[in-house]
Structures are given as structure tokens and as C-alpha cells.
Amino acid sequence: MTRKSPSPYIQILGGGLAGWSAAAILAEQFSGTAAIHIDGAQEDTPAESAAYAHMILGGESILMQHIGMTPADLITLGRGGFWLGTCFEKWGAKGRNVYHAPGEALPVKDGLSAHQILRRLSVQEGKDGLFTDLCLPLAFQARMAAAGKFSPPSADRQSPRSLLRPGVALDGSALTAVMRDKAMASGVRVAAGMEDEPLLIVDCRPQEKAKDIDCRQALGFDRYVTLRLEGAMPHPPHDSIRPLDNGWMTILPLQGGALITLYYHSSHWTDAQAKQAAYDALPESAAAIITSGPIYPGRMERPWQGNSVHLGVGAAQLGSAMGAEVTLLSHQLETLITLLPGGKGDDMPSKSAEYNRRVAAHFDHIRDFLHLPFVRNGLTGPYWEQAKKQAIAPDLHRRLGQFERRGLLVMIDDDPFEKHSWLEMMTGLGIIPALYDHVTDGVDLSAKMRDLGSMVVAFDQTIAAMPTHEDFLAQMAARMTG
């Protein structure tokens, strides 16, 4: 029996970035033949605006692919820059900065990871702390981020720059209009109510309630304040997460300013105290509050039920740290288009079950990755001590246990983070494995250390020769206008 699908009718509820992106991408997927209506197009809620303003897009993001703009154009539009990673300011042991900078993994020789060699050396020297000291210089992309330098990736596999995987970071507010224009140009109609029973309802409205899987307690926030800073300030190629006494703030540097979001728990701070803390932590005269309110980190257990699928912050939310909100939305959209129902009579339950499984796994991995610095950090004070005591999910428990025991990086299905991302985060936080891989007892440590040393020198020289991120952006802008 042929199942040629009729032109589908899809109803999208809620505007904002999630709604308009879904509209634009679905219209494109159906080559303009679908009837896609958007209801509530004007509803760009403060909560959603705040969530997606802090925008980080990797080259593989479906949003990046469908926006149809070059990174340079996006950077201009959103006053942004290149993104090499996220700096967790002073979260590490001895007040060290910790970087999540997802470049490519170092090449592995003889099946032995560099960190195992370094752990063995630190045991041999009787200095546990040496492990962290020696690991950090090998994190090339993180070091570039820390140095405020930028150069694009190189195709030459001999160059350290071949390890780079930069994204772009920008004020995402301007993107809603871009996606709206794309959607409207593809025939998406703004229409209230439903004309017929839709094939699919895509509900992109934020939900003002706790989610089925509630992460407010574990991640220590249920309120947020967003501020905008104007004026000249440093523009490194990374965003930052700065700890405060009773919360933390994400800082997205922009050209001529920054976007700040402070997250805190209402049991620790009143709104007034939080706002005051934000002002205290920033150059007061330049900061202006955009919005504030409750936030519901967590996820729906079954965002797709029947013919209705929830997308965006109403379905899953983790705050703007590491660009998590945009990453979640991108993954939701990507998953949805590979599981689009085929028309009336198609088997929606199997698609919805698979969708729900995939987005839950993706969310859980990001939540675990984000939760890791909350449970293993060098921060002090009641708020942070309480954070360290929060229960952790079984997968994270397993990852932590194996890394702490022997530096083993456990692989789990559907993880968007590669092993070396976990490694950099764990070593950055000062987690030192009790053991090392026994195989390293049989290798020539001096030779291995010479190899690693040569690599570090090459990294040093490459970074030293790079322009600052600001200079790179200025040169890029000059080329664009010239």
C-alpha cells in the first residue's frame, strides 16, 4: 500500500525563537508544501527571550544550518564573537578557572591517553597536584580561550589549530526576527485557532510550572535576573559562569557590552537581594535589568503525546550556562524533523516514543555535565556546600566513580559530550584519579613526557602567534566592509 503523504497541516503555538524556528525549519523540510500556521506569534515571552538571548551555536547546530547566514554575518547581527568554550570562573581547586572548551581530542598513541601518563608521573613524583598542573597545558582550545586569542581551524592535521572546533556566541534576540522572516517567506501563516485537525501541534509556549523531572533543587536555582551591560569591555572568545554567594551568573561578552543572567534559589535570596548582588558584581552604572522571574529547570517526561509535541523552554530548560537552552532547542528540532509523522494513519506512538527517548537522553547528559561542577568544585559557603550534597543521577555517579577511581571515562549512549570534554571538566575541577591505568607502568615514561612536552611547546608557540579575539573580529569586520 502506498503511503504518499498529503500536504500536512501543522499548527505551531507560541512565537519566540522556538516557535519561529520550528515554523521556518518545518516549512523548509516540506519544501513549502505544508500548511503551517502559527498561533500566538506575538507572544515572545520574557522568559523565552532571556533563555535564548545567550546564544551559542556550533557549526553542526540545526539552527546554524537553517539560519542561512555565515558566522561572520551572524556575529555582526548579534554583536557577538567566536566561541571556544565556557569559563567556570574560579570553580576549580585553589580558585582556578575551569574551561569547557569542546575542541577535538588529542591523538591517542599506543592506546594510552595523555592523562593516564600524567597521572602515573604525578604518582611517581608523589605530587598529586602535578596531575592537574600537567593536564591543563594540553587543553589547546581552552588555553586559547583563556588567553583571549583566536584563529580559525586549520585543515593541516599537523597544526594544533586542526584541533579547534569553534562556534559563535551572540545576542540571540535578533535571531527571532530572522527566523520569522524565513518562515513567512516560506509561506507560514499567522492564524489564531485551528482550521482543521492538524497533523501535528508544535507547542512552543513556555510553561509557568515545575516540570515532571524537576532540577531546581539539584541545580540550585528557581529564579533569574537578566541584565544588559553597555560600554567597552574585554571580549574574550568564551562565555563565563561566575559564582556568587547564593547563586551564579552567566556572562556573554558582546561587542560593546555583555548579557548577564543571574540564577539563584528563592530559599537563599530574595529578588531584591539577588538584584543587589548582580549590581554589586558588575559595573553598576552600565548595567540595566531587562527581565526577571521564576524559572523551571527540568524536563517534561513525555513532551510528545498524541499529536502534540512541546518544544523549547516549556519542554526542557537548564538555563543559559554553556548555551544549554539553545543546544536543547536545536536538538529538539533536529530530532523532530527526523521523526516527522507521515500523515494521517502514520504510526505516531512509535515516533513520539522515540522522540521522547532521544530528547530525554540528550537533556540528561547535559544536565549531568552541568551538574558536575556543582558537586565537585572548590567553592565555599552554605549555598555551595548544599550544592555539593545534592543527589546526583546514576550516570553521573558512574562517570564520577570511575574517573575518581582510575581516570576511566565511561561511554554512555547518546552523549553529546565527547570523552575529552568530560576529562577537561573533571581535571579542571581538580578531580584526581586515585589510580592510573596500569598499562602505563610498562611504558617509557621519559619518552612519553618528551612527546607531550613537544606538544605543549607547539601549543605555546601557536597561541603566541595568534591575534587577540578582538583584533581578529576587527580585521574580519574590516574585510567585510572593505
Partner 1 sequence: MSINANFVNNVVIVGGGTAGWMTAAALSHKFGNTGTQITLVESAEIGTVGVGEATLPHIRFFNAAMGIDETDLMARTQATFKLGIEFCGWGKEGESYIHPFGDYGEPHNGIAFHHLWTQQRLAGNAKRICEYSLPVMMAEANRYAMPDADPNALLSTFGYAYQFDASLYAAHLSQLSQKRGVKRVEGKITHAKRSADTGRISAVVLENGAQVEGDLFVDCSGFRGLLIEQELKTGYEDWSHYLPCNRALAVPCEPSGPIGPYTRATARKAGWQWRIPLQHRIGNGHVYCSDYISDDEAAAILIDNLEGPAIAEPRPLFFKTGRRNKLWNGNVVSIGLSGGFLEPLESTSIHLIQQGITALVELFPTQDSMEEDAAEYNAMMRLEFDRVRDFLVLHYVANQREGEKFWDDMRRMEWPASLKEKVAAFVHSGIIPSYDVGAFLPPSWLAVFVGQNIVPQAYDPRLDHLDSAAIASSMEERRRQIADAVNTLPVHMDFVRGHCPGAMVAEMVAEKIPSL
Give the number of other CB atoms < 10 A from CB of residue 289: 14
**Phi, psi (rounded to 5 degrees) for 184:** -65, -40
Beta strands in 92-134 (DSSP E): 98-100
Cα–Cα dist 358/363, whole Å = 9
Helix and strand counts by DSSP (H, E) for the chain: 17, 19
28 vs 245, which CB is nearer to partner 1?
A: 28
According to the binding rule CB under 8 A, does residue 111 interact with partner 1? yes
Binding region for partner 1 (CB under 8 A) out of 26-34, 47-55, 180-188, 474-482: 26-34
C-beta closer to partner 1: residue 214 or 418: 418
Among 266, 276, 350, 454, interactor with partner 1 by CB under 8 A = 350
Q: Tell me which amino acid residue 422 is.
A: W
- Cα 301 to Cα 316: distance, rounded to the nearest angstrom: 9
* 285 touches partner 1 by CB under 8 A: no
In angstroms, how far is CA 236 from the centroid of its own chain? 17
Shortest distance, CB of residue 118 to partner 1, whole angstroms? 14
Would you say 1 or 272 has its CB closer to partner 1? 1
Among 107, 157, 413, 447, binds partner 1 (CB under 8 A): 413
Looking at beta carbons only, is 32 or 453 nearer to partner 1?
32
Cα–Cα distance for residue pair 87/101, rounded to 1 Å: 8
Q: Could you say whether residue 156 binds partner 1 (CB under 8 A)?
A: no
* Residue 435 interacting with partner 1 (CB under 8 A): yes
> Could you say whether residue 31 binds partner 1 (CB under 8 A)?
yes
Q: In terms of residues, how long is the chain?
A: 482
Question: 61-80 burial, b if ≥16 CB within 10 A, otherwise e?
Answer: bbbbebbebebeebbbbbbb
Q: C-beta of 403: minimal distance to partner 1 in Å?
A: 11
The smaller minimum CB distance to partner 1, of residues 439 and 457, is found at 439
Binding status of residue 414 toward partner 1 by CB under 8 A: yes
User: Which residues from 34-93 bind partner 1, rule CB under 8 A?
Assistant: 34
Other C-beta atoms lying within 10 Å of the C-beta of residue 189: 14
Question: Hey, what's the cell of 336?
Answer: 523532530
Judged by beta carbon, residue 118 or residue 262, the one nearer partner 1 is 118
Q: Which stretch binds partner 1 (CB under 8 A): 190-198, 294-302, 336-344, 380-388?
A: 336-344
- Residue 280 as a binder of partner 1 (CB under 8 A): the answer is no
- Residue 26 or 56 having the CB closest to partner 1: 26
End-to-end CA distance of the chain: 59
Contact pattern for partner 1 over residues 440 through 479, marking x by CB under 8 A: -xxx------------------------------------
Q: H helices within 320-418, ranges in order?
A: 324-338, 348-375, 382-388, 394-406
Binding residue count for partner 1, defined by CB under 8 A: 50
Cα 87 to chain centroid distance, Å, stands at: 12
* Residues 6 or more apart in contact with residue 42 via CB below 8 angstroms: 15
Q: For partner 1, which stretch binds (CB under 8 A), given 15-23, 168-176, 232-240, 339-347?
A: 339-347
The interface mask with partner 1, positions 386-405, x = CB under 8 A, is ------------x--xx--x
Could you tell me whether strands 247-254 and 287-294 are parallel, antiparallel, or unpaired per DSSP bridges? Answer: unpaired
Burial of 478 per CB tally in 10 Å (0-12, 13-18, 19+)? exposed
Residues that bind partner 1 (CB under 8 A): 1-5, 8, 29-34, 111, 120, 123-124, 337-343, 346-347, 349-351, 353-354, 398, 401-402, 405-406, 408, 410-415, 435-439, 441-443
